[in-house]
Amino acid sequence: MSEKTIFEKIIEGEIPSYTVYEDETTYAFLDANPLAPGHTLVVPKEPYERLNDMPPELVGDVFSTAGEIADAVEAATDATATTLAINNGEDAGQEVPHAHLHIVPQTAEDGPKS
């Protein structure tokens, strides 16, 4: 069995995190190094490395959940918009080899951060 990713350890509670949302397939938690307050990561519970490794139905679940979380993040912060971003592969800046979507709150004043 391959070593668990940091995000699996977070999902299983071995590494503490601030949980934003959880259901059968998807987990969301605050980023430890936020680009803005409320920066949230949305991940499939199964440790697919990249978006393109995930079954289409799971991609649909994660994205539809991410849309709802983006609304909640905006409501909970002073953000008026969110950037949803995926670093899909090491050369694109993916540091954790467990597919994840960043939700970064944005305001008109500070301009896009991601």
Stretch that binds ligand 5GP, among 43-51, 75-83, 93-101, 104-112 (CB under 6 A): 93-101
Q: Taking CB under 6 A as the rule, does residue 40 contact ligand 5GP?
A: no
CB of 38 to ligand 5GP, least distance (A): 13
Burial-class residue 4 by CB neighbours within 10 Å (0-12, 13-18, 19+).
middle
Cα(96)–Cα(5) distance, integer angstroms: 7
Task: Return the number of the residue (18 or 108) whose C-beta is nearest ligand 5GP.
Answer: 18
**With b meaning 16 or more CB within 10 Å and e meaning fewer, what string describes 67-104?**
eebbeebbeebebeebbebbbbeeeeebeebbbbbbbb
Residue of the chain from 55, 60, 67, 93 that contacts ligand 5GP (CB under 6 A):
93
Stretch that binds ligand 5GP, among 55-63, 66-74, 92-100, 104-112 (CB under 6 A): 92-100
Cα(78)–Cα(75) distance, integer angstroms: 7
Residues catalogued as catalytic = 100
Interface residues with ligand 5GP (CB under 6 A) are 6, 10, 15, 17, 29-33, 41, 87, 93-96
